[in-house]
Amino acid sequence: MSIVFLILSVLPIIAGILIKVLFVPAADGIDITGAHVFFTIDLPLGGLPITEAQVNSWLVILSIMFFCLFLTHGLKTKNISNKQVIVEFLVEKVDGLIKANMGEYFMGFAPFIAAILSLSALSSLMSLFGLFPPTSDINIVGGWAILVFILITYYKMKCGPLIYAKSFGDPVPFLAPLNIISEVATPISMAFRHYGNVLSGSIISMLIAVALANLSNLVFGWIPGFVGDIPFFRMGIPAVLSIYFDLFSGCLQAFIFAMLTMLYVAGGFPQDEYMRRKAARKAAREKASAESVAADAAEA
């Protein structure tokens, strides 16, 4: 049964390759564009184009979902399998990351950080299969960054909007505009950092591939017949670059995005103040209930 889930988790990638082969026209030469648009749903504000990036990110989500089902299938309390060791290691690792970077209060963030990590990393790694990496679309990463921004603001507002508004006048009130700019800059910088790294990686890869092909043509072009057409320089060298741009950069950007999320959310949350208020509220409530009990006793 679990092998079915494993196969199902691989299927979305194969489906992505099939979709790419069937529906996306091959680009010739240097053609740096965004994602291929399959069709557009008519909506106000420009309509919703269903692009390769969207489809690929759904495929990634499907793949992760089936992989989760595969991992958590047949969990036991005794005589655990290697698979279970791995999945428990993963979960505890993410929990440890949250605990170290955000503190006990934010333990509920563990699945969210795991979602960011896995979605970002696997989206970037889509390029290994020759698919369009969704992370090189600003809209995808922008959506995540906006969600993170909402979370940051939500936690900053936990002590009430007044404290949140006051935090902009820190340390001196006339710096408020700068503070507002830096606040808004957070999601933008997060989105552009991630998007830019992945996109620049694929652009550089493509440029180098084309350059190597031309260089190969220059060096070996005089050889008659089909041998002269073989781009020898394109063998091997782009693979090494791919290790950096696709594997390393993709995983690193995912980690950075997750790390920044944790730091911003935990850092923006005035935890001491919130705890103090919570304790005060609790004390007030207890006092009120004690008073009501005393009043009831007096009535009786």
Partner 1 sequence: MNNLDIISVNIWQIALSLINLVILFLILKKLLFKPVKKIIAEREKEIMAEYDKASATNAEAEELKASWEEKMSGAQARADEIIQDAVDKADRRNEVMLYETREKAEAIIKKAKADADRDLRDAQESIRQEIISVSTALSEKIIGREINMDDHRDLIDSFIDNMGDE
Binding site for partner 1 (CB under 8 A): 25, 32-37, 41, 43, 45-49, 51, 53-54, 57-58, 61, 64-65, 68-69, 71-72, 75-78, 84, 87-88, 90-91, 110-112, 114-116, 118-119, 134, 137-144, 146-147, 199
Kindly tell me which of 37 and 294 has the beta carbon lying closer to partner 1. 37
Kindly state the smallest distance separating residue 256's Cβ from partner 1, in Å: 16
Which helix (H) or strand (E) segment is 51 a member of? strand 48-51
Kindly state the smallest distance separating residue 248's Cβ from partner 1, in Å: 23
Kindly state the smallest distance separating residue 72's Cβ from partner 1, in Å: 4
Kindly tell me which of 4 and 90 has the beta carbon lying closer to partner 1. 90
For residue 157, what are the contacts with CB-CB under 8 A and spacing of at least 6? 164
Kindly tell me which of 58 and 232 has the beta carbon lying closer to partner 1. 58
Kindly state the smallest distance separating residue 126's Cβ from partner 1, in Å: 14
Kindly tell me which of 119 and 159 has the beta carbon lying closer to partner 1. 119
Kindly state the smallest distance separating residue 185's Cβ from partner 1, in Å: 16
Rounded to whole angstroms, the Cα distance separating 50 from 48 reads 6
Which helix (H) or strand (E) segment is 118 a member of? helix 110-125
State the amino acid at position 229 in one-letter form. D
Tokens of 139: 């809209």
128 phi/psi in degrees, rounded to 5 = -65, -30
Tokens of 48: 């919703």
Kindly tell me which of 31 and 272 has the beta carbon lying closer to partner 1. 31
Rounded to whole angstroms, the Cα distance separating 147 from 141 reads 10
| Upstream peptide bond of 171 is cis (omega within 30 degrees of 0) | yes
Kindly state the smallest distance separating residue 275's Cβ from partner 1, in Å: 25
SS3 of 174-191: the string is HHHHHHHHHHHHHHHHHH
Kindly tell me which of 144 and 269 has the beta carbon lying closer to partner 1. 144
For residue 61, what are the contacts with CB-CB under 8 A and spacing of at least 6? 119
Kindly tell me which of 77 and 225 has the beta carbon lying closer to partner 1. 77
Tokens of 248: 């390393």
Rounded to whole angstroms, the Cα distance separating 249 from 201 reads 8
Kindly state the smallest distance separating residue 161's Cβ from partner 1, in Å: 23
